[in-house]
Copies of this chain bind each other. A is one copy, B any other.
Amino acid sequence: MDAKPYSHVIEMLRGASLRPTRQRIALAKLLFDDGHRHVTAESLHADAQEAAIRVSLATVYNTLHQFTEAGLLREIVVDSQRCYFDTNTENHHHFFCEETNSLQDISGEDVVLSKLPAPPEGKTIKRVDVVVRV
């Protein structure tokens, strides 16, 4: 497997006004170099350890939240005990297997909501999340 260059993640970070530090670059490469991923802070920290990247768990948490605020990641709520983050930020939904605690993307086109109620007075719909529990 070819190691990809650093330039593209550095660009991405600069674009998000995030200083391209060693830790952020390494985590961004883990997250974005191999197609879409679903991670938790713990799992990404473990991946980093395995890849011999020295980064603390606190920094992983901070980084995941900064990336999410910058729109590079999306937080998925499927379990009230753990935060999941998705590198796919397009309109889409999820299968969640409660047995293995694993997520699988459902493309936006494969779910059609043909009826939806109006939001409560004075509110605007920010997002509609569909979770199919299997």
A4 touches B (CB below 8 Å): no
A127 to chain B: which residues have CB within 8 Å? Answer: 132-133
What does the 1/0 interface line of A91-134 toward B look like (CB < 8 Å)? Answer: 00001011000001010001111111101100111111111111
CB-based contact A130/B129 at 8 Å: yes
Please name the residue on chain B nearest to A130 by beta carbon. B130
What does the 1/0 interface line of A63-104 toward B look like (CB < 8 Å)? Answer: 000000000000101111111100000000001011000001
Chain copies in the assembly?
Answer: 2
Q: Pick the contact of A120 from B83, B112, B114, B134 — CB < 8 Å?
A: B134
Evaluate whether A123 and B130 lie within 8 angstroms (CB atoms) in the complex, with A80-B83, A110-B117 already known: no
CB-based contact A125/B134 at 8 Å: yes
A124 to chain B: which residues have CB within 8 Å? Answer: 134
Complex Cα distance, B110 from A123, in Å, reads 17
Complex Cα distance, B131 from A129, in Å, reads 5
Please name the residue on chain B nearest to A122 by beta carbon. B134
